[in-house]
Each structure stands twice: as C-alpha cells, then as structure tokens.
Amino acid sequence: MFDDFTDERIDVGEVELRVRHAGQGPPVLLIHGHPRTGATWHRVAPRLVERGFAVVCPDMRGYGRSGKADLRPDHSQQSKRAVAADLRRLMDLLGHPRFATVGHDRGAYVALRLALDHPDAVDRLVVLDGVPISEALARCDATFAREWFHWFFFAQPDIPERVITADPDAWYAAKARPESMGAENHREFLQAVRDPATVRAMLEDYRAGLGVDREHEEADRRAGRSVRCPTLFLWSTRDDMERLYGDPLAVWRPWADDLRGHPIESGHHVAEENPDDLTEALHRFLT
C-alpha cells in the first residue's frame, strides 16, 4: 500500500497523528470513518496523486496508530471540533494552508466541522455516506434505532468496552474481508480494532456524537452558519441513505450554500469497493 508515500507521525499539539502523504499539486485531505484507518484510501489516494493532487491520509486522533487524548467527562477530547483542529494543524505543518477535504462515515462529520470552523482553510468539501449528526438524530425512528443501534450502545459507559475487547474480531471482523479491503489494509484494520485504547477512543467518538457534537451542530443552525465552499455529497447505492432519508441531498441543502451530489454504485466502504468511480467523481469536482 501507498508506494512512494511518506509515512510518519506528526505532533499537532495534544496528540501525534500517523499520516501518509504524497504528490504535488492542489492538496486534498482524505478522512476515514469508523472503524477504519487512513489505509481505507489505499486504492484512491495513489490514483489522485497520479492525477496531479497532493494527497494527505491521516489516522484521526484515537484511531489506528494516532495518539489517544486524555479522556474528559463530556467526551470532548474526541469531538469533531477537536479532531478537525488536529487536521487543520496537520495541513498547516505540511505546507497546505488551504485544501480540499473529503470525509467518509465518521470522517464526514469531521470534514463538515472543518468546513464550518475553518472556512478560511477548506476550499472544497466532499462528504460520503453520512448526514449531519443532528439531522440523523432529529429523524431517528424505530428503523434507525434498530439498524443503527450501535450509536446508542457505544454511548453507554464501560459496557461496550467490556463487550468489544472480549472478542474484537467477532465484533468488527465478520464483515471485513481481506479480498474486498486488500490484504494490507485488512491487517492494519485488525491491528487497530484489537487495541483496547483504540476501541475506547472509537467509542468516545460516538459518545461525543450524541453530546457535544450535536450541540455544536445545533448552535451552527441557530446562528445561521453554513458551508460556504462548493460541496459534493456522494452516497453508496447499497448503503441506506435513500432508505433512511429519501432524498439525502435535501437533508444537506440547509447546510451548504453550493451543493451538488449523486449516488455511486457501491456498498458502504466506497473507497475500497469502487475506487475507480469515486476517484473519477473526486477528480471532476476538485478540478
């Protein structure tokens, strides 16, 4: 994976981030989701480099080989605001004060927070397979609670850690296949989910989501803040965006002044399952 990429750890203040980066040209930050690491982009990142972009693939704080912040009672150490601040600092240190941001799954929430909190830094935003946390919770019904029960299970104190770390492979690995992920990506994923500190940090991500992250988004709406840069929303045809939300673009329209989007034929992990179509969609939007 990531031939000719630099692979290093960079101190961004509260934590060190593991990051892979390569290329020359317009900078693009790729933010992974749960429970992946930056390796989820291993089929997309080299294609973007070949097309003339400078590509940055970090592990978010708490995830993968990046540092784990000290726990706080309100879980704000893993808030999307804290993660976004890490990534803004990372891009500055890599010499990219202004950049495009692409986020998938939990990374989509971080990408949105980056665009809202740092509009001077984010010149284009791409969100994949996710609507704002506050919008998902406002629309939560029995279907959502049944199929996305992990949002609420993960938010419970202590019990999820005990359940998951007792057999992390049973919890995480059943749906993660090396054939679809790629063997090295799969090995890195397994190493991450078998680390109790990483599991706790990933759970803290969800705990922050139901608390401070929701509060931050609701404060944005009350203040009339929206994403000012061009925004692209892409969703996987074999995920549940349309089933849960009908037209998912309608959910995003109040959040972005310049919005466009379309589906991509894929399951949830689009960067692994359909990197060709995803790369093409990103290239068209980012150039």
24 DSSP 8-state letter? S
Q: Given 42, 75, 268, 269, which residue is catalytic?
A: 268
Tokens encoding 132: 């704002």
123 catalytic? Reply is no
Tokens encoding 116: 């809202």
What is the spatial distance between Cα 32 and Cα 63, in angstroms, rounded to a whole number? 9
Q: Given 105, 117, 205, 213, which residue is catalytic?
A: 105
**CA dist 95 to 66, 91, 98, Å?**
20, 6, 9
In DSSP notation, 185-254 reads HHHHHHHHHT-HHHHHHHHHHHHHIIIIIHHHHHHHHHHT--EEEEEEEEEETTSSHHHHHSSHHHHHGG
Tokens encoding 18: 């593991």
**CA dist 42 to 26, 39, 99, Å?**
19, 5, 20
Of 125, 131, 130, 85, give the one whose Cα is nearest residue 101.
125
Helix, strand, or coil (residue 145): helix
Q: Which residues contact 188 (CB under 8 A, 6 or more apart)?
A: 37, 39, 64
42 catalytic? Reply is no
What is the spatial distance between Cα 248 and Cα 102, in angstroms, rounded to a whole number? 17
Tokens encoding 188: 């890195």
Catalytic residues: 105, 268
